[in-house]
Amino acid sequence: MSMLLVHSPKDMVSDTYSEAWLAGPQSTQFYTRTYRADASESKAVIVFIHGFVEHIGRYTQVHPVLAAHGFNVFTFDQRGFGKTALDEEHKSTSSAYGKTSGEDQMDDIQWAIDHAKKEFPGLPVFLSGHSMGGGEVLNFSVRRHTSELAGVIASSPLIRQAKSSIFDHAARAAGGLAAELFPYTPIPTPLDYNALSHDTIYTNMCKNDVLAKLEGTLRGVLDMLNWGEALLTVSNYKKWPNKLPILFVHGSADQITSHDATKEFHDKIIANDKQMNFYVDGFHELLQEPAHREKLVNDEIAWMEAHLSKTFE
Protein backbone atom coordinates (compact mmCIF):
# COMPACT_ATOMS: atom_id res chain seq x y z
CA MET A 1 0.00 0.00 0.00
CA SER A 2 1.26 3.44 -0.86
CA MET A 3 0.50 6.09 1.73
CA LEU A 4 1.15 9.83 1.61
CA LEU A 5 1.46 11.39 5.05
CA VAL A 6 0.95 15.12 5.40
CA HIS A 7 3.12 16.69 8.08
CA SER A 8 1.07 19.71 9.00
CA PRO A 9 -0.87 19.40 12.27
CA LYS A 10 -2.95 22.42 11.28
CA ASP A 11 -6.49 21.95 10.07
CA MET A 12 -6.80 21.56 6.32
CA VAL A 13 -9.75 21.86 3.97
CA SER A 14 -10.56 18.34 2.85
CA ASP A 15 -13.47 16.45 1.31
CA THR A 16 -12.38 13.23 3.01
CA TYR A 17 -14.20 13.92 6.26
CA SER A 18 -17.27 15.62 7.65
CA GLU A 19 -17.01 17.72 10.78
CA ALA A 20 -19.61 18.54 13.39
CA TRP A 21 -20.03 19.94 16.86
CA LEU A 22 -21.89 17.36 18.95
CA ALA A 23 -23.21 17.49 22.50
CA GLY A 24 -21.64 14.81 24.68
CA PRO A 25 -21.67 14.01 28.40
CA GLN A 26 -22.49 16.95 30.67
CA SER A 27 -23.77 18.70 27.51
CA THR A 28 -20.15 19.39 26.55
CA GLN A 29 -19.74 20.46 22.94
CA PHE A 30 -17.19 18.28 21.14
CA TYR A 31 -15.50 19.00 17.83
CA THR A 32 -15.79 15.77 15.82
CA ARG A 33 -14.74 14.33 12.49
CA THR A 34 -16.13 11.37 10.60
CA TYR A 35 -14.22 9.67 7.78
CA ARG A 36 -16.60 7.52 5.75
CA ALA A 37 -15.68 4.51 3.69
CA ASP A 38 -17.42 3.91 0.39
CA ALA A 39 -20.77 2.34 1.25
CA SER A 40 -20.04 -0.68 -0.93
CA GLU A 41 -16.75 -1.35 0.90
CA SER A 42 -17.68 -0.37 4.47
CA LYS A 43 -16.44 -3.04 6.89
CA ALA A 44 -16.24 -1.53 10.37
CA VAL A 45 -15.99 1.70 12.33
CA ILE A 46 -13.02 2.83 14.41
CA VAL A 47 -13.52 5.12 17.40
CA PHE A 48 -10.17 6.89 17.75
CA ILE A 49 -8.91 8.64 20.92
CA HIS A 50 -6.01 11.07 20.51
CA GLY A 51 -3.22 11.77 22.98
CA PHE A 52 -2.22 14.44 25.50
CA VAL A 53 -1.79 18.02 24.25
CA GLU A 54 -2.73 17.06 20.70
CA HIS A 55 -5.89 16.96 18.59
CA ILE A 56 -7.49 15.10 15.71
CA GLY A 57 -6.08 17.49 13.11
CA ARG A 58 -2.80 15.63 13.46
CA TYR A 59 -4.38 12.48 12.03
CA THR A 60 -5.68 13.95 8.78
CA GLN A 61 -2.96 12.03 6.98
CA VAL A 62 -3.91 8.53 8.14
CA HIS A 63 -7.65 8.39 8.76
CA PRO A 64 -8.50 8.77 5.04
CA VAL A 65 -6.25 5.76 4.37
CA LEU A 66 -8.26 3.68 6.82
CA ALA A 67 -11.52 4.85 5.23
CA ALA A 68 -10.17 3.94 1.79
CA HIS A 69 -9.74 0.38 3.08
CA GLY A 70 -13.31 0.16 4.34
CA PHE A 71 -12.77 1.33 7.93
CA ASN A 72 -14.93 4.30 8.86
CA VAL A 73 -13.44 6.54 11.55
CA PHE A 74 -15.24 8.60 14.18
CA THR A 75 -12.96 10.80 16.26
CA PHE A 76 -13.14 13.94 18.36
CA ASP A 77 -11.00 16.53 20.09
CA GLN A 78 -11.05 15.30 23.65
CA ARG A 79 -12.51 17.21 26.56
CA GLY A 80 -9.88 19.83 27.48
CA PHE A 81 -7.98 19.67 24.18
CA GLY A 82 -7.94 20.97 20.62
CA LYS A 83 -10.97 22.83 19.34
CA THR A 84 -13.17 21.33 22.04
CA ALA A 85 -11.22 23.48 24.51
CA LEU A 86 -10.04 26.40 22.37
CA ASP A 87 -12.66 27.23 19.73
CA GLU A 88 -14.25 30.29 21.33
CA GLU A 89 -17.14 30.34 18.89
CA HIS A 90 -18.33 26.78 19.41
CA LYS A 91 -16.92 25.35 22.64
CA SER A 92 -18.92 25.00 25.83
CA THR A 93 -18.58 27.88 28.26
CA SER A 94 -17.31 25.45 30.91
CA SER A 95 -14.58 24.01 28.67
CA ALA A 96 -10.96 24.99 29.28
CA TYR A 97 -7.60 23.67 28.18
CA GLY A 98 -6.63 20.53 30.09
CA LYS A 99 -9.88 20.50 32.07
CA THR A 100 -10.74 16.82 32.27
CA SER A 101 -10.58 13.77 34.51
CA GLY A 102 -10.29 10.02 34.17
CA GLU A 103 -13.99 9.48 34.83
CA ASP A 104 -14.93 12.18 32.33
CA GLN A 105 -12.79 10.46 29.71
CA MET A 106 -14.45 7.10 30.32
CA ASP A 107 -17.88 8.69 29.90
CA ASP A 108 -16.73 10.47 26.74
CA ILE A 109 -15.45 7.24 25.19
CA GLN A 110 -18.76 5.50 25.89
CA TRP A 111 -20.59 8.41 24.27
CA ALA A 112 -18.34 8.16 21.20
CA ILE A 113 -18.93 4.42 20.89
CA ASP A 114 -22.68 4.91 21.20
CA HIS A 115 -22.58 7.60 18.52
CA ALA A 116 -20.51 5.42 16.17
CA LYS A 117 -22.95 2.53 16.58
CA LYS A 118 -25.87 4.78 15.63
CA GLU A 119 -24.02 6.24 12.65
CA PHE A 120 -22.85 2.85 11.39
CA PRO A 121 -25.47 0.33 12.57
CA GLY A 122 -24.53 -3.30 12.37
CA LEU A 123 -20.81 -2.73 11.77
CA PRO A 124 -18.07 -4.03 14.08
CA VAL A 125 -16.63 -1.32 16.34
CA PHE A 126 -12.90 -1.05 17.07
CA LEU A 127 -11.60 1.22 19.83
CA SER A 128 -8.18 2.72 19.14
CA GLY A 129 -6.09 5.23 21.08
CA HIS A 130 -2.63 6.78 21.05
CA SER A 131 -0.43 7.77 24.02
CA MET A 132 -2.79 9.20 26.67
CA GLY A 133 -5.59 7.93 24.44
CA GLY A 134 -3.92 4.52 24.43
CA GLY A 135 -3.98 4.47 28.21
CA GLU A 136 -7.61 5.54 28.11
CA VAL A 137 -8.74 2.71 25.84
CA LEU A 138 -6.99 0.20 28.11
CA ASN A 139 -8.62 1.70 31.18
CA PHE A 140 -11.98 1.70 29.44
CA SER A 141 -11.53 -2.00 28.71
CA VAL A 142 -11.01 -2.89 32.38
CA ARG A 143 -13.46 -0.38 33.88
CA ARG A 144 -16.46 -0.36 31.55
CA HIS A 145 -18.70 -2.76 29.61
CA THR A 146 -16.96 -3.69 26.34
CA SER A 147 -19.08 -6.44 24.79
CA GLU A 148 -19.89 -4.11 21.89
CA LEU A 149 -16.25 -3.96 20.75
CA ALA A 150 -14.63 -6.12 18.07
CA GLY A 151 -11.17 -5.23 19.34
CA VAL A 152 -8.86 -2.63 20.87
CA ILE A 153 -5.67 -1.05 19.50
CA ALA A 154 -3.34 0.71 21.96
CA SER A 155 -0.59 2.74 20.27
CA SER A 156 2.34 3.89 22.45
CA PRO A 157 -0.05 3.78 25.44
CA LEU A 158 0.69 5.87 28.49
CA ILE A 159 0.88 3.21 31.16
CA ARG A 160 4.08 4.57 32.62
CA GLN A 161 6.32 7.42 31.50
CA ALA A 162 9.60 6.50 29.87
CA LYS A 163 11.12 9.28 31.97
CA SER A 164 9.56 10.96 34.99
CA SER A 165 9.21 14.20 33.07
CA ILE A 166 5.99 15.63 34.50
CA PHE A 167 5.63 14.57 38.14
CA ASP A 168 7.75 12.29 40.24
CA HIS A 169 5.84 10.32 42.85
CA ALA A 170 6.53 12.79 45.68
CA ALA A 171 5.30 15.72 43.62
CA ARG A 172 2.33 13.63 42.52
CA ALA A 173 1.32 12.97 46.11
CA ALA A 174 1.44 16.68 46.90
CA GLY A 175 -0.39 17.44 43.68
CA GLY A 176 -3.10 14.97 44.62
CA LEU A 177 -3.87 16.93 47.76
CA ALA A 178 -3.99 20.17 45.81
CA ALA A 179 -6.17 18.58 43.14
CA GLU A 180 -8.85 17.85 45.72
CA LEU A 181 -9.12 21.57 46.43
CA PHE A 182 -8.20 23.08 43.07
CA PRO A 183 -8.66 20.31 40.48
CA TYR A 184 -8.45 22.47 37.38
CA THR A 185 -5.45 24.58 38.31
CA PRO A 186 -3.29 24.85 35.15
CA ILE A 187 0.19 23.32 35.35
CA PRO A 188 3.03 23.28 32.79
CA THR A 189 3.74 19.98 31.03
CA PRO A 190 7.18 20.17 29.37
CA LEU A 191 7.75 18.17 26.19
CA ASP A 192 10.87 17.37 24.19
CA TYR A 193 9.50 17.77 20.68
CA ASN A 194 12.52 15.97 19.23
CA ALA A 195 11.39 12.83 21.06
CA LEU A 196 8.15 12.69 19.07
CA SER A 197 9.57 11.63 15.72
CA HIS A 198 12.73 11.43 13.64
CA ASP A 199 10.89 13.63 11.13
CA THR A 200 12.05 17.18 11.89
CA ILE A 201 9.46 18.74 9.58
CA TYR A 202 6.74 17.18 11.72
CA THR A 203 8.32 18.11 15.06
CA ASN A 204 8.78 21.71 13.93
CA MET A 205 5.11 21.81 12.94
CA CYS A 206 4.17 20.58 16.41
CA LYS A 207 6.15 23.39 18.02
CA ASN A 208 3.98 25.92 16.21
CA ASP A 209 0.64 24.14 16.61
CA VAL A 210 -1.84 26.71 17.96
CA LEU A 211 -4.24 23.96 19.05
CA ALA A 212 -1.72 22.27 21.36
CA LYS A 213 -0.56 23.97 24.55
CA LEU A 214 2.09 22.48 26.84
CA GLU A 215 -0.12 22.56 29.88
CA GLY A 216 -2.71 20.51 31.69
CA THR A 217 -4.61 20.68 34.95
CA LEU A 218 -3.86 19.02 38.26
CA ARG A 219 -6.78 16.61 38.01
CA GLY A 220 -6.31 15.82 34.34
CA VAL A 221 -2.57 15.15 34.58
CA LEU A 222 -2.72 13.23 37.85
CA ASP A 223 -5.51 10.96 36.63
CA MET A 224 -3.64 10.36 33.38
CA LEU A 225 -0.47 9.27 35.21
CA ASN A 226 -2.06 7.46 38.15
CA TRP A 227 -4.66 5.60 36.11
CA GLY A 228 -1.96 4.53 33.67
CA GLU A 229 0.26 3.05 36.36
CA ALA A 230 -2.76 1.47 38.06
CA LEU A 231 -3.23 -0.72 34.99
CA LEU A 232 -0.23 -2.74 36.19
CA THR A 233 -1.87 -3.57 39.52
CA VAL A 234 -3.56 -6.92 39.94
CA SER A 235 -6.92 -5.32 40.71
CA ASN A 236 -6.95 -3.82 37.21
CA TYR A 237 -5.13 -6.11 34.80
CA LYS A 238 -7.11 -9.11 36.05
CA LYS A 239 -10.28 -7.35 34.89
CA TRP A 240 -9.25 -7.54 31.24
CA PRO A 241 -12.13 -9.21 29.33
CA ASN A 242 -10.35 -12.37 28.23
CA LYS A 243 -12.32 -12.62 24.98
CA LEU A 244 -11.59 -9.02 23.92
CA PRO A 245 -8.89 -8.96 21.19
CA ILE A 246 -6.10 -6.45 21.81
CA LEU A 247 -3.23 -5.17 19.65
CA PHE A 248 -0.38 -3.23 21.27
CA VAL A 249 2.00 -1.20 19.08
CA HIS A 250 5.03 0.63 20.46
CA GLY A 251 8.38 1.98 19.29
CA SER A 252 11.43 0.50 21.00
CA ALA A 253 13.06 3.95 21.23
CA ASP A 254 10.04 5.76 22.69
CA GLN A 255 11.32 8.36 25.16
CA ILE A 256 7.87 9.53 26.26
CA THR A 257 5.86 6.43 27.17
CA SER A 258 7.47 3.22 28.38
CA HIS A 259 7.49 0.31 25.95
CA ASP A 260 8.58 -1.91 28.85
CA ALA A 261 5.36 -1.02 30.69
CA THR A 262 3.35 -1.88 27.59
CA LYS A 263 5.01 -5.28 27.40
CA GLU A 264 4.44 -5.80 31.12
CA PHE A 265 0.72 -5.12 30.77
CA HIS A 266 0.55 -7.33 27.67
CA ASP A 267 2.20 -10.16 29.58
CA LYS A 268 0.02 -9.76 32.68
CA ILE A 269 -3.43 -9.75 31.13
CA ILE A 270 -5.18 -13.04 30.48
CA ALA A 271 -6.52 -12.70 26.96
CA ASN A 272 -7.37 -15.30 24.35
CA ASP A 273 -6.23 -12.98 21.57
CA LYS A 274 -3.43 -10.51 22.28
CA GLN A 275 -0.61 -9.27 20.09
CA MET A 276 2.42 -7.05 20.76
CA ASN A 277 4.17 -5.30 17.87
CA PHE A 278 7.45 -3.51 18.55
CA TYR A 279 8.94 -1.19 15.93
CA VAL A 280 12.72 -1.09 16.22
CA ASP A 281 14.14 2.40 16.92
CA GLY A 282 10.66 3.89 16.60
CA PHE A 283 9.97 7.09 18.51
CA HIS A 284 6.67 8.01 20.19
CA GLU A 285 4.67 9.15 17.15
CA LEU A 286 4.91 5.98 15.08
CA LEU A 287 2.49 7.34 12.46
CA GLN A 288 5.01 10.11 11.82
CA GLU A 289 8.07 7.87 11.74
CA PRO A 290 9.30 7.61 8.12
CA ALA A 291 10.74 4.14 8.72
CA HIS A 292 7.58 2.69 10.27
CA ARG A 293 4.41 4.59 9.39
CA GLU A 294 3.44 2.64 6.29
CA LYS A 295 4.09 -0.74 7.92
CA LEU A 296 2.20 0.33 11.04
CA VAL A 297 -0.94 1.23 9.11
CA ASN A 298 -0.67 -2.00 7.10
CA ASP A 299 -0.29 -3.99 10.32
CA GLU A 300 -3.31 -2.36 11.95
CA ILE A 301 -5.48 -2.85 8.87
CA ALA A 302 -4.45 -6.51 8.62
CA TRP A 303 -5.19 -7.05 12.32
CA MET A 304 -8.65 -5.49 12.05
CA GLU A 305 -9.38 -7.46 8.87
CA ALA A 306 -8.66 -10.63 10.84
CA HIS A 307 -11.08 -9.61 13.60
CA LEU A 308 -14.09 -8.40 11.65
CA SER A 309 -16.17 -11.43 12.58
CA LYS A 310 -14.96 -11.77 16.15
CA THR A 311 -17.59 -11.38 18.87
CA PHE A 312 -17.56 -12.17 22.55
CA GLU A 313 -19.76 -11.91 25.60
**What are 118-141's pLDDT values in tens digits?**
999 999 999 999 999 999 999 999
Lowest mean pLDDT among 157-171, 230-244, 274-288: 157-171
Residue closest to 207 by CA, chosen among 102, 54, 94, 104: 54
Which residue would you say has higher pLDDT here, 63 or 170? 63
Which residue would you say has higher pLDDT here, 82 or 173? 82
Which pLDDT belongs to residue 163?
83
- C-alpha span between 194 and 206 (Å, rounded): 10
Phi, psi of 136, deg, nearest 5: -65, -45
Which pLDDT belongs to residue 30?
99
Residue 179 pLDDT more than 90?
A: no
Region 165-180: mean pLDDT is: 66
- C-alpha span between 207 and 193 (Å, rounded): 7
Each residue of 19-77: pLDDT tens digit? Answer: 999 999 999 999 999 999 999 999 999 999 999 999 999 999 999 999 999 999 999 99
Which residue would you say has higher pLDDT here, 148 or 170? 148
Instruction: Please give the domain boundaries of the chain with CATH numbers for all domains.
Output: 18-305 (3.40.50.1820)
Please provide the average confidence, as pLDDT, over all residues in the chain: 92
Q: Looking only at Cα atoms, what is the longest distance across the chain?
A: 55
Residue closest to 152 by CA, chosen among 15, 275, 2, 35: 275
pLDDT-above-70 percentage for the chain: 89
Which pLDDT belongs to residue 14?
44
Each residue of 200-234: pLDDT tens digit? Answer: 999 999 999 999 999 999 999 999 999 999 999 99
- C-alpha span between 64 and 11 (Å, rounded): 14
Residue 204, SS3 per DSSP: helix
Confidence band of 146 (pLDDT split at 50, 70, 90): confident
**What is the model's pTM?**
0.93
CA distances from 76 to 49, 57, 73, 109, 127 (A): 7, 9, 10, 10, 13
Each residue of 261-281: pLDDT tens digit? Answer: 999 999 999 999 999 999 999
Q: List own/partner pairs for 92-96 with CB under 8 A and 24 or more apart.
A: 92/27, 92/28, 92/29, 94/26, 94/28, 95/28, 95/29, 96/184, 96/217
Lowest mean pLDDT among 1-10, 140-149, 219-228, 242-251: 1-10
Confidence band of 167 (pLDDT split at 50, 70, 90): low
